[in-house]
Amino acid sequence: MAGFGTTLTELRQTFRSGRTRGVVWRKAQLNALLRLVSENEERIFEALQQDLGKHPVEAYRDEIGVVKKSASHTLDNIEKWMAPKKGQMPWLLFPSKAEVLPEPLGVVLILASWNFPISLLLDPLIGAISAGNAVVLKPSELAPACSSFLASTIPQYLDSEAIKIVEGGIDASEQLLQQKWDKIFFTGSTRVGQIIMSAAAKHLTPVTLELGGKCPTILDSLSHSDLQVAVKRIAGGKWGPCSGQACIGVDYVLVEQKLAPVLVELLKNCIKKFYGESLQNLKNLCRIVNKHHFDRLANLLKEPGVSASIVYGGSLDEENLIIEPTILLDPPLDAEIMTDEIFGPLLPVITLNTIEESIEFINSRPKPLALYAFTKNKTLKEKILSETSSGSVTFNDTMIQFICDVLPFGGVGPSGFGRYHGKFSFDTFSHEKAVLQRSFYFELEPRYPPWNDFKLEF
């Protein structure tokens, strides 16, 4: 691709031509995106297998399916979202009318992470297109097969004068960040989020930061049958999405001491059923993305007191970058496994005297992106909602909030800010322009000088 400056100039020209603003262009691009994923499912499966060892079923559920769902939902609603929204005028301004008119921001940059390398790039793109923007996409260099697949197919399917893709590593990101954008949408770590925000500050560019953190799961006492469902959902939310390499994956579980042995037993059964028994025979589990992250996770297990807390798993296959689903019971709270986002298949179970202590536990740590709680206790639910802060709260399940287009998806505090999905994606990439239209009739004279006491009374 030509230099970034030239690319941006071309995108600005396209945007200024007005081409991306019309509903016809927006719908054509969304339909083209749907064709891109539908006609290339096998290639996507292959790329995800190469980059992460992702099983096609998981790949369909978390990547292809997510993109198809978002694009279809957007196509169904786009005209409604684009329509100006009328507002009620105060009588003082009679006769006049007020409208909120969504307009595209301009040329936007989308930077994605590697763990869902297709959906985390294309889902925000759906929002950017639906709002009528020109776009530069930067996939993660840590998922090279997906990056190269996207770089070769996007120009074939989408309007290449309005939507461009830039491959590369940190150098490419740094160069992109030197340019002036109308919006930067970033998915990645809190550390890099800070870099993005300072680069954006130079041009006063608005940012949406979809970051990470530790997502706690509270498990209250439940009937045996409810507990079995809960544990299955916890296991699915820990090891199910990309072997725990997921921003909204379960990071750790908080449970009362008396329930911990049952929880551990049920979790073990789930692991055996979902993924198999020994490291050599593990199936349906993604591999760790690269040696750096494999070593990072291996080192978490080596910290003093941590290895002694392993109650299941803990085996590592360095050659194939596989880590066995691992359960740890009460690892030291000051160990990195409990202070940093795990982003891998290690699950600490932390025991408490009473489940209410979970509120204080969560509040003494950075605000999470997602909080999960399995409980039927109304008072506990209310306490969680009113006394903790997190990007989202899901009761009695994990992960499913991600595919719910009526809910905004995003963090709070260090887990990020801004939101997307469904109409929220459209809003994220739009400016809501305030439009007031006034009639020439009915001049309200007291608004003009000369001032006098009578006008004060008025």
SS3 407: coil
> Considering only residues 157, 343, 374, 424, which one is a binding residue for ligand NAD as defined by CB under 6 A?
343
Catalytic residue chosen out of the listed positions 146, 215, 247, 270: 247
Confirm whether 42 is a catalytic residue: no
Nearer to ligand NAD, 76 or 171 (CB): 171
420 binding ligand NAD? (CB under 6 A): no
> Considering only residues 119, 341, 373, 422, which one is a binding residue for ligand NAD as defined by CB under 6 A?
341
CB of 120 to ligand NAD, least distance (A): 6
Confirm whether 210 is a catalytic residue: yes
In whole angstroms, give the CA distance from residue 48 to residue 288.
Answer: 12
Cβ pair 400, 420 in contact under 8 A: no
Look at residues 63, 29, 26, 21 and name the one whose alpha carbon lies nearest to residue 46: 63
212 binding ligand NAD? (CB under 6 A): yes
Rounded to the nearest angstrom, the gap between the alpha carbon of residue 208 and the centroid of all alpha carbons in its chain is 10
In whole angstroms, give the CA distance from residue 400 to residue 368.
Answer: 16
Per CB under 6 A, contacts with ligand NAD among 222-261 are 247
Per CB under 6 A, contacts with ligand NAD among 146-205 are 169-170, 173-174, 187-189, 192, 195
Look at residues 27, 196, 221, 212 and name the one whose alpha carbon lies nearest to residue 111: 196
CB of 343 to ligand NAD, least distance (A): 6
Going from the C-alpha of 114 to that of each of 1, 2, 48, 178, the distances in angstroms are 22, 25, 10, 22
CB of 311 to ligand NAD, least distance (A): 25
Q: DSSP readout, 314-369?
A: --EETTTTEE--EEEES--TTSHHHHS---SSEEEEEEESSTTHHHHHHHTSPPPS
123 binding ligand NAD? (CB under 6 A): no
> Considering only residues 210, 220, 251, 256, which one is a binding residue for ligand NAD as defined by CB under 6 A?
210
Beta partners for residue 26, in sequence order: none
> Considering only residues 20, 29, 70, 113, which one is a binding residue for ligand NAD as defined by CB under 6 A?
113
Catalytic residue chosen out of the listed positions 58, 63, 210, 341: 210
> Considering only residues 30, 34, 110, 120, which one is a binding residue for ligand NAD as defined by CB under 6 A?
120
Nearer to ligand NAD, 37 or 196 (CB): 196
- Torsion sign, CA atoms 106, 173, 30, 126: negative
- CA gyration radius, the chain: 25
How does DSSP classify residue 208?
Answer: E
303 binding ligand NAD? (CB under 6 A): no
Residue count (the chain): 458
115 binding ligand NAD? (CB under 6 A): yes
Q: Which residues are catalytic?
A: 210, 247
Give me the residues that bind ligand NAD (CB under 6 A), please: 111-115, 120, 138, 140-141, 169-170, 173-174, 187-189, 192, 195, 210-212, 247, 341, 343, 369, 411, 416
